Amino acid sequence: MITTTTGAHGAPTAARVHALDHLRALAMLAGVLFHAALAYSPLLHPWWPAADRQHSPVVDALVWLPHLLRMPLFFLVAGYFAALVLQRRGMAGLARQRVRRILVPFLVAWPIVHLSIAAATTWAAENITHASPLLLMLREWLAMPDPPTLPPATGHLWFLYYLLLFGVLHWTGRTLELGGLLDRWLARGPVWTALSLPLLLWPAFALTQAPHPAPESLLPQFWAIGVYGPFYALGVALHGRLDMLDALRRWLLPAAPLCLIAYAIFLLQIDAGLSHANAGWSTAALEALIAGWGTLACLLVGLRTLAQPRAWLGYLSRGAYWVYLVHLPVLFAIQYALMDLELPWPIKFVVAVAATLALCLASYEVLVRRTALRRWVG
């Protein structure tokens, strides 16, 4: 049994909250690693602004698995904590918390992040010798008397955009008393939940390309709602019921190699290169299986192994939101500076990750941890 059970009246114990906070921190760290690794991905070489002249198939073999797991895990944990706030403060309290912790940071950070990335990328396009294909295209645009403009997009802050959207849908579901649908879904047992989750995700993955992109458009993407919405809803439904996942423990062992086999087949299917066409149903089925079962596996392992307080994970958890907000412009600036250096790509990768985390955490110490900003993004 998972020993960190819920307390009286379904309230989560401190150990549960520690485990989920730690999972969220590790998912954030995986995001920094993921974005840094894309510079050395052959698949994304034509499309990533910081793409280095050196790239390796090893990166593509490793990077797309966490890509399929980390954001579903973020949304599942976000749904769980939304239900926790709702239980303690009511819908009005949840709405106030969403405004303070999501809407205001999004509106403030969005233009700052956008302008920072635009400035660094413009400098890179004009000054880097070994520029990426996307920077070379930007260089040509900048030389035009009337260069084209791109529509505004959320960038990597799309997660906050969809949290706000799911918050509205959450309120709508509560108002229409649709919570019984989630109760009936879970009432059939954890094995049914695990088996049905990939089936829910399958059509949504088929509506977009593989690997699925970030839904950065200001118009909500139906495929993104279909991929991430079920995880948010599952997180809401699991509040006070995490013990029901114990039944999946013995099922996890055979499921893990099945996910790895599915991932190997998925890699073979995307090896031909990134296509703007929607994924076929077979590829979408593999993505749904990996995302659904893999995310549940991460949740189970995290609840079992991360329940005890750890100083470094606690610190990373408290700084995770700030690091998420600021890491991409910092990372781009560092990787642009590394592009012309004659260094092996693994060294560039390590330097970029270490320098990005160091600068982001240092800025957290100076600007957030002991200041009024802590209330908003700490």
Q: Mean of the per-residue pLDDT values for the chain?
A: 90
The 3-state DSSP class for residue 144 equals coil
For the stretch 119-122, contacts whose Cβ atoms lie closer than 8 Å and that sit 24 or more positions apart, written own/partner, are 120/329, 120/332, 120/333, 120/336, 121/49, 121/332, 121/336
Average pLDDT over residues 198-222: 94
Average pLDDT over residues 276-289: 86
Query: Identity (one letter) of the amino acid at 295?
Result: T
For residue 155, give the nearest of 332, 33, 320, 336 by alpha carbon.
332
State the Cα–Cα distance between residues 146 and 218, nearest whole angstrom. Answer: 25
Per-residue pLDDT at 289 exceeds 70: yes
Tens of pLDDT, residues 160-209: 999 999 999 999 988 887 778 888 888 888 888 889 999 999 999 999 99
Q: Residue 39: how many CA atoms within 13 Å on its side-chain side?
A: 31
Structural element, H or E, at residue 237 = helix 222-238
Q: How confident is the model at residue 274 (pLDDT cuts 50, 70, 90)?
A: low
8 A C-beta contact, residue 36 and residue 331: yes
The 3-state DSSP class for residue 341 equals coil
The set of residues, in sequence order, having a beta carbon less than 8 Å from that of 75 and lying 6+ positions away, is 162, 163, 166, 228, 229, 231, 232, 235
Structural element, H or E, at residue 215 = none
281 sits in the region (left: phi over 0; alpha: psi -120 to 50; else beta) called alpha
State the Cα–Cα distance between residues 117 and 331, nearest whole angstrom. Answer: 10
Average pLDDT over residues 69-92: 94
Q: What is the reported pLDDT for 7?
A: 47
